Amino acid sequence: MVRVFDIEIAYGQIAIFAASLENPFSDWSAEHIAQGFSWRPGSVSFRTLIDAGAHSVELTLVEHFSTPSSDAIRVIEVPFDAPADGAIEVGGVMETVPFSLAAGSYMLRCEFYLPVESVWRVRLVFSFGDKSHFRILRADSEITITDGFLTTAQPAVN
């Protein structure tokens, strides 16, 4: 299963969350920024390579992760639980796209790539067969924490 869509990203983050969450986005601390992600059950946001702009997002479901492309600039893996109804959303604070996954526990890999024709690229891979962990597989100069992750976040309230 592969799904590709274009979306406008703002505030330097792309989020994946259970559609039923009342406040799906999280507040970011300095430590979240340094590690490149903000995580809490049902919601994860990844720090994008640019603060705002057009992004092409590819969603993929696999049994096990393969080696990330050598073109990937930043690669982060986190646990993600799809809710009982399977309804999740992907996007930013300006717009999101609905998506459905079978309920259950997954690993989620976020891969960032340089732009093609001014459109930045993000690949989100859900694995249902890999063991749960938090890991940065590839870090660029903006990522300054690569272990000992902060795995709690507070909901951002309007």
Residue range 22-70, pLDDT digits in tens: 999 999 999 999 999 999 999 999 999 999 999 999 999 999 999 999 9
Q: Which of 16-20, 101-105, 115-119 has the lowest mean pLDDT?
A: 115-119
- Domains in the chain: how many in total? 1
Structure tokens at 1: 């299963």
Residues in the chain: 158
CATH classification at residue 88: 2.60.34.30
Structure tokens at 80: 């993600």
Q: Which domain covers residue 107, as residue numbers? A: 2-138
In a domain, residue 51? The reply is yes
Would you state the torsion angle of the CA atoms of residues 5, 6, 12, 16, taken in this order, to the nearest 10 degrees?
A: -20
**How does residue 84 score in pLDDT terms, banded at 50, 70 and 90?**
very high
pLDDT at site 35: 98
Query: Rounded distance, CA 77 to CA 138, Å?
Result: 10
In a domain, residue 157? The reply is no
Question: Among 115, 111, 146, which Cα is nearest to 125's?
Answer: 111
Query: Residue 158: is its pLDDT beyond 90?
Result: no
pLDDT at site 33: 97
**How does residue 157 score in pLDDT terms, banded at 50, 70 and 90?**
confident
Instruction: Report DSSP letters for the chain, one per residue.
Output: -EEEEEEEE-TTEEEEEETT-SS-SB---HHHHHHTEEEETTEEEEE-SSSSEEEEEEEEEESS--PPPTT-SEEEEEEEEE-TT-EEEEE-SS-EEEEE--SEEEEEEEEEEEEETTEEEEEEEEESSSPP--EEEE--TT----SS-----PBP--
In a domain, residue 143? The reply is no
In a domain, residue 149? The reply is no
Task: Look at 158 and 29; give whichever has higher pLDDT.
Answer: 29
pLDDT at site 1: 77
Structure tokens at 26: 């999280």
In a domain, residue 62? The reply is yes
In a domain, residue 129? The reply is yes
- Mean pLDDT of the residues in the chain: 96
In a domain, residue 152? The reply is no
> What mean pLDDT comes out for the span 76-86?
98
In a domain, residue 124? The reply is yes
